[in-house]
Amino acid sequence: MTDALTVKMRARKLNFCYGDNHVLHDVDFDIYSHTVTALIGPSGCGKTTFLRTLNRMNDQVVGAKLDGEVSIDGEDIYRPSVDVTALRRRIGMVFQKSNPFQKSIYENVAFGLRIAGVKDRRILDETVEDSLRLSALWDEVKDQLDKPALMLSGGQQQRLCIARALAVRPEVLLMDEPASALDPISTAKIEELIEDLKLRYTIVIVTHNMQQAARISQFTGFFYMGDLIEFGQTAKIFTTPTQKRTEDYVTGRFG
Amino acid sequence: MANMQAHGPVALVQRRRWRRLFSPLPLITGFLTLCVVLMLVVILWNIVAGGVGRLTWEFLTTAPSQGMTAGGIFPAIFGTVFLVILMTIAVIPLGVATAVYLRYYARPDAWFSRAVQIAVKNLAGVPSIVIGLFGLGFFVQFVGVGIDKSFFGGEVTMGQPAILWASLTLALLTLPVVIISTEEAMRAIPTDYLEASYALGATRWQTIRRVVLPSSMTGILTGGILAVSRGAGEVAPIMFTGAAYFLPYLPTKLNDQFMELGYHVYVLSTQSPDVDATLPLLYSTVLVLLLLTFALNALAVVVRARLRVRQAV
Amino acid sequence: MPVITPHVSRTRPSYGLRPADRRRDRIMKYVITGSGFAAILAIILIFVFIGKEALPVLTSPEVHQEVTLSKMVTPLEGRAGKPKAYIWQPVSQVPKYSLPPLVLGSLKATLVALLFATPFAIGAAIYSSEFAPRRARELIKPVIEMLAGIPSVVLGFFALIVLAGWLKDLFDWKYRLNATTAGIALGVAAIPIIYTVAEEALRAVPRQYREAAQALGATPWQVARSVVLPSAAPGIFAAIALGFGRAIGETMIVLMASGNAATWSWSLGDSVRTMSATVAAEMAEVVHGSAHYNVLFFIGALLFVVTFLINFLGELYIGRLRRRLTGSAA
């Protein structure tokens, strides 16, 4: 499996500060195409912050400073000439708490397309259906596309947010604890989804659920207090980790 | 059990209950509260009783006649509506834009945005007569005269009391209402929504136009309705900027003067040659003004309630 | 596990940012920042303009022919034989501009307003926050809102047509329209703001304080007296201050119900002329640019400054209060 892998995104010597708070120290990270990479670690270790540097969502935070390089397909995304809005259409994000807009199901999924200027109804219809199928929601909502998105259940809303993110055809999908607010059945559905999605996308997922990371990811990065302690193939991280702290965490000695 | 005498701790409780029933503060404050309710009732009752007699369809649709002792007040209603429409056109875009600026464009620490915040707060506290003064001195006598000099060769067209100036003056007065109401609605939007929009590659303006504004629409409406209600009731700002007591015509051009409900009440109350004869008309005018104001306020409450329900979803 | 068969073509359209959108984003940024400018411009303009038209009273030699600052505050020569007095008579052969009667008039009316409004408003606030059952509280709020919604011209009408007659019979005064008639109507207008701020101040008292007292067996009366009122006292004073600001700036009520006589008397049963009513009454007929004109603006500036200061201090305090309320509600 490893010989066919290419690096999709890469971070080198990444340092990040919120004001005086130095949150990420010298992180070197590789994300491979068409894989699921899990970021694990105890609360506050910086894994979510790291995730957000990948699509420059931290730009909006007052006092945020980044040092180092983050690149996609070899291009540095923090160069001043980079168009952030275009970047975010290549790298999509799904949030921990599902946040569909106060619009209809259809309009939620179509949102990204509309702001990109797509007006052709045919393309919109096609892409909306396609995205909803990809996120395994189509059958459940195909007759109710005009209904408000907020009337869906928690699990359905999260799948809607995934569909919404997929509609703009990103290359990478970042997921911040996507199932943490959901019941076990919805969680299982989402994990199934992620398995299928990796065939076409590259996925990076933050999770505090180690079993989940072990189930669905091929690569795992363990963060602790802003440092990337260990990175490698999931199987290895969970069975024979090289760092003691990694071993302590995955065996549940702290967390 | 039945023979247990009520003494000791139990007796203490009983005695306390007596004292609680007659303790002074709740009684006094309850009475004072009742008085406040009574004040409202008395005022409303008096106005309704005095004014409802004349309140006919004819009253609302004809002009006054016979020295304000007969006829109706249609011109005043027309003038008030026209005035308020102009005011709304000016105040809502400016108010919403300022609220959007304060929340989504201004850096919270920058001196400029702090200054705007303070300006808005203080604008809300300026007495309406001072705003009327400003309206007269600035809009009518400075801008208006300036326009006359530049575009009309000195002929007096805009440099006089006019419905345009009156409505702009009112817009200044009600600007804080719209800003604050819009801000309140925007504050209710969770940051998640904004993040989701940005994560999909939207620009700031796209996010505002497609996510923020639609969600804030109820708040903007509430602010607009409250501004209209306030604008319809204020007299001091329009006294010298365009309101008139009796005009044989309806205002049609921007530099026309106009009759107005509140102003009419004021003049009729204080400068009527025969108070007893004009009193019925006056009472009915007051009733119309009051009903208008209350209806608008009630509408704003309903709209605001709908806002709460929606946000709770 | 179902096989996912996408329907759309496999080519990936790339959605970059169109130049039109980028342009629009920049344009809207300027438009919106510009309106922020407009708001601050408006208030600066008001301040500057009124100051500009008021300034000649202090600086211009032509105006000083007619009136100076000292002439405005010291007693003036009246008709021959009469003692020096404060006279406000701008329209006469020798115009006289004494400020004290106007200031006193404003103060008298406002004093009556506060004396009238404060017990009712604060009492209602205390009742509403401490003792009232839920149903009563839900009635009080709309009552206060309705009271606040009554246009001041309507209150002025009521004072003039109805209240004046009642009070004259009650107190047997010489004048129907005087400081007290206007003051009571002003009080009605001030009740909503005093109530609202005082009630907020009372609610801001942390629940822990109340519960501690209740747990020790205190009755609502004792809780109110020993814990709530002392804690809320500063906020209550702020409420009264804001009521003062509202009353002193009010125009229509005093214009209609105060009698509009600029006299120098301490009696509350005499007619008065407030600063706001003076401006309103005389502004229409004054000659643009004359000394009278400048003096009216001077009075307007005074009003502006006074209400500005009071509201500023009041708001400052309320801001602190609100932060405490949301902090303790967490």
Question: Which pLDDT score, from 0 to 100, does residue B311 have?
Answer: 55
Q: Which residues of A touch C21 (CB under 8 A)?
A: 115, 117
| Contact between C15 and A129 using a beta-carbon 8 Å cutoff | no
Q: Which of A169-183, C213-227, C256-270 has the highest mean pLDDT?
A: A169-183
User: Which pLDDT tens digit goes with each residue over B185-235?
Assistant: 898 888 888 889 988 888 888 899 899 998 888 889 888 998 999 899 899
The answer to whether B68 and B283 have CB atoms below 8 angstroms apart is no
Mean pLDDT across chain A: 88
Chain A CA closest to residue B214:
A102
Structure confidence at residue A1 (pLDDT): 45
Residue B55: phi, psi to the nearest 5? Answer: -80, 85
Instruction: Check CB contact of B88 with chain A, cutoff 8 Å.
Output: no
* C17 chain-A contacts, CB cut-off 8 A: 83, 85-86, 116
Q: Give the tokens for residue C114.
A: 């506060």
| Residue whose C-alpha is closest to residue C6's, from A118, A137, A132 | A132
Cα nearest neighbour of B201 on chain A? A85
* Minimal CA separation from C324 to chain B, in Å: 19
A79 vs C191, higher pLDDT: C191
Output B292 or C58, whichever has higher pLDDT.
B292
Q: What distance in Å separates the CA atoms of residue C201 and residue C236, rounded to the nearest whole number?
A: 6
DSSP secondary structure string, B128-197? HHHHHHHIIIIIIIIIIHHHHHHHSTT-SSSSS--HHHHHHHHHHHHHHHHHHHHHHHHHTS-HHHHHHH
CA distance B174 to chain C (A): 12
State yes or no: pLDDT of C268 exceeds 70. yes
The number of residues in chain C equals 330
**pLDDT the model gives residue B43:** 94
CA atoms within 13 A on the CB side of B284: 23
pLDDT reported for residue B12:
44
Q: If we measure between CA atoms, which residue out of C142, C104, C28, C112 comes closest to residue C266?
A: C104
The predicted structure's pLDDT at residue B69: 74
What are the φ and ψ backbone dihedral angles of A162, each rounded to 5 degrees? -65, -45
Q: Cα dist. C68→C64, C276, C298, C301 in Å?
A: 5, 20, 11, 16
Residues of C in contact with A128 (CB under 8 A): none
Q: Which two tokens stand for residue B309?
A: 């329900």
User: Looking at chain A, which subunits does it touch, using at least 3 CB pairs closer than 8 Å as the criterion?
Assistant: B, C
Fold of B52-312: MetI-like fold (1.10.3720)
Q: What is the 3-state secondary structure (H, E, C) of C230-247?
A: HHHHHHHHHHHHHHHHHH
B97: nearest CB among C35, C126, C152: C35
Q: Which of A120-129, C104-113, C173-182 has the lowest mean pLDDT?
A: C173-182
Task: Residue window 286-305, chain B: list those with CB within 8 Å of chain C.
Answer: 286, 289-290, 293-294, 297, 301
C143 → chain B, closest CA residue: B37
Domain boundaries of chain B, sorted by first residue: 2-49, 52-312
Which chain C residues have a beta carbon less than 8 Å from that of B282?
A: 157, 161
Tell me the two tokens of residue B39.
Answer: 């004040």
Q: What is the pLDDT of residue B308?
A: 65
Instruction: Residue B20: count other Cβ atoms within 10 Å of its Cβ.
Output: 13
Over residues C243-247, mean pLDDT = 90
Matching residue, tokens 């260990």: A230
- Does B10 touch chain C if contact means CB atoms closer than 8 Å? no
Which of A54, A84, A87, A88 to mutate to test binding with chain B, by most B CBs within 10 Å of its CB?
Answer: A88
Binding-face residues of B in 190-209 toward A, CB within 8 A: 190, 192-193, 195-203, 206
Mean pLDDT calculated for residue range C135-142: 88
pLDDT higher than 50, residue C4: no
Q: Which amino acid is at C218?
A: A
Per the structure block, which two tokens stand in for A141? 């909502």
Question: Percent of chain C having pLDDT more than 90?
Answer: 22
Q: pLDDT confidence of C110, banded at 50, 70, 90?
A: very high
Using left for φ > 0, alpha for ψ between -120 and 50, and beta otherwise, residue A72 falls in beta
Domain C96-329, CATH homologous superfamily name and number: MetI-like (1.10.3720.10)
Q: Which of A6-20, B101-115, B175-189, C6-20 has the lowest mean pLDDT?
A: C6-20
Q: Which residues of C touch B94 (CB under 8 A)?
A: 35, 38-39
Q: A34 touching C, CB under 8 A?
A: no
- What integer is the mean pLDDT of A54-80? 87
CA distances from B29 to C138, C227, C237 (A): 16, 17, 18
**pLDDT for residue B305:** 82
Contact B225, B121 (CB under 8 A): no
Mean pLDDT of C149-154: 93
Q: Nearest CA to A229 among A217, A243, A215? A: A243
Is residue C4 within 8 A of residue A199, CB to CB? The reply is: no
Cross-chain residue pair C15–A112, CB shorter than 8 Å = yes
pLDDT band with cut points at 50, 70 and 90 for residue A3: low
pLDDT confidence bin for C164, thresholds 50/70/90: confident
A186-196: average pLDDT: 89
Of the listed ranges B284-288, C19-23, C182-186, the one predicted with least confidence: C19-23
Give residue limits of the domains in chain C: 96-329
Give B-chain residues touching C42 at CB under 8 angstroms. Answer: 119, 123, 172, 175
Cα distances (Å, whole numbers) of residue B18 to A128, B28, C115, C211, C226: 71, 17, 33, 22, 20
More confident residue, C182 or B305: C182
CB contact under 8 A, B196 and A92: no
Contact B205 C28 (CB under 8 A): yes
pLDDT tens-digit map of C166-179? 888 887 777 778 88
Residue stretches of chain B with pLDDT short of 70: 1-23, 307-313
Which residue among A85, A90, A133 places its CB closest to the CB of C6?
A133
Residue A222 reports pLDDT greater than 90: yes
Angle at which helix C179-203 crosses helix C100-126, to 10 degrees, equals 40
CA-based nearest residue to C204, from C295, C84, C329, C57? C329
What is the model's pLDDT at position A39? 94
What is the DSSP secondary structure assignment for residue C130, as one 8-state letter?
I
Interface of C with A in 20-39 (CB under 8 A): 20-21
pLDDT of residue C82: 66
pLDDT top residue among C253 and A80 = C253
pLDDT of residue C158: 93
Instruction: Report the distance separating Cα B94 and Cα C41, nearest Å.
Output: 12
Q: Which of B186, B200, B308 would best serve as a mutation to test chain A binding (most A beta carbons within 10 A)? A: B200
Count of residues for chain A? 255
Neighbouring-strand partners of residue A52 = none
DSSP B4-60: --S-THHHHHHHHHHHHHH-HHHHHHHHHHHHHHHHHHHHHHHHHHHHGGG--HHHH
> In sequence order, what E strands does chain A have?
7-18, 21-32, 36-40, 64-72, 75-76, 91-94, 172-176, 202-206, 219-224, 227-233
Q: Is C316 exposed, middle or buried (0-12, 13-18, 19+ CB in 10 A)?
A: exposed
Measured between beta carbons, the chain A residues lying within 8 angstroms of C4 are: 133-134, 136, 196
Work out the angle between the directed axes of helices C275-283 and C291-329 (0-180°, nearest 10).
130
Please name the member of C21, C32, C152 whose beta carbon is closest to the beta carbon of B100: C32
| Neighbouring chains to B with at least 3 Cβ pairs closer than 8 Å | A, C
Question: What pLDDT is attached to residue C159?
Answer: 92
Query: Is C154 within 8 Å of C185 (Cβ atoms)?
Result: no
How many angstroms separate the CA atoms of C45 and C51, rounded? 10
